[in-house]
Amino acid sequence: MKTIVITGASSGIGAEAAARLASEGWDVAVVGRNPERTAKVAASVGGTPFVADYDRLGEVRDLATALLARYPRIDVLANNAGGLVSTHALTVDGNERGIQHNHLAPFLLTNLLLPRLLESQARVISTSSFANLAGSVRLDDLNWEKRPWLGGWPAYGTGKLATILFMRELAKRTGLDAYSFHPGYVSTAFGADSGFITVTNRLRPGGFGIPAAVGAEPLVLLATGSAAPAANGSYYDRLTPNGRTRKSANDDTLAAALWERSATIAGL
């Protein structure tokens, strides 16, 4: 039986992917922030619940410890947790919430699990977004204190651009299969505290996006190795490899520098 760890699995595409893979015989570690929803999804798929709040890197460390104690082998790590943070604020660790949710916490978790991932020759998948096209990774302003906030959208795009850079650099440094993907514009609880998203959902109850089950397809296919082939470290636009990215997503120097900066911030 193969084991997959899915973060952000208490709802949306994470929960859908957990159900799909469990039905195919996978042992699923269901990671979420909300204890009740996480336990409910884990029970429904026959998986194991793990709770962690990405606002606190200490909880990410505790999560890694619990996962390593529970699983002698991890075949796939799916870094799916994250999202839009519409109000600028810092975490208890001193990082802008969006960059911590979308990049720093997954970066820390992946690195803490790395020895086990290498032993298992695991695959790492990270949920990114077409919003990376609006991102701009500035190592001197990861906390977004020198640029207009604009509802958090540019910072969100930057977090998703960082995700692409992270997967490319992880593949380069470790040789592990590592991919990022855009799931499509999915109609879920994404951006629930965003005024723009709230208005669009009022205009069309249920949202304008694709169902979560459809959005989960890239995650499932990448986890199982059934996606269209692409070079290691590639970014998929849904099911299509080599999707459109910001030019800086291909900047090797920036990817390496982001890794080093992230390691310092995360205390690695």
228 and 241 in contact (C-beta within 8 Å)?
Answer: yes
Q: What is the CATH number of the domain that holds 44?
A: 3.40.50.720
The residue segments making up the domain with residue 27 are 3-266
pLDDT value of position 205:
46
Q: What is the pLDDT of residues 163-180, one digit of tens each?
A: 999 999 999 999 999 999
Catalytic residues: 156
Q: In what order do the strands lie in the sheet with 177-182?
A: 48-51, 27-32, 3-6, 76-79, 123-127, 177-182, 235-237, 240-241
Confidence (pTM): 0.92
Q: What is the dihedral of CA 153, 158, 164, 170, to 10 degrees?
A: -140
* Pairing assessment for the beta strands 235-237 and 240-241 based on DSSP bridges: antiparallel
Q: What is the pLDDT of residues 46-79, one digit of tens each?
A: 999 999 999 999 999 999 999 999 999 999 999 9
Q: d(Cα 229, Cα 26) in Å, to the nearest integer?
A: 22
> What is residue 77's three-state secondary structure?
strand
> What is residue 48's three-state secondary structure?
strand
Give the total number of structural domains in the chain.
1
Q: Is 204 exposed, middle or buried (0-12, 13-18, 19+ CB in 10 A)?
A: exposed
Q: What is the pLDDT of residues 198-256, one digit of tens each?
A: 333 343 444 568 999 999 999 999 999 999 999 999 999 999 999 999 999 999 999 99
Q: d(Cα 114, Cα 106) in Å, to the nearest integer?
A: 12
Tokens 């080599």: give the residue. 242
- Strand pairing partners for 48? 29
Return all residues near 118 (Cβ < 8 A) that are at least 6 apart. Answer: 174, 176
Which pair of tokens denotes residue 20?
């799909």
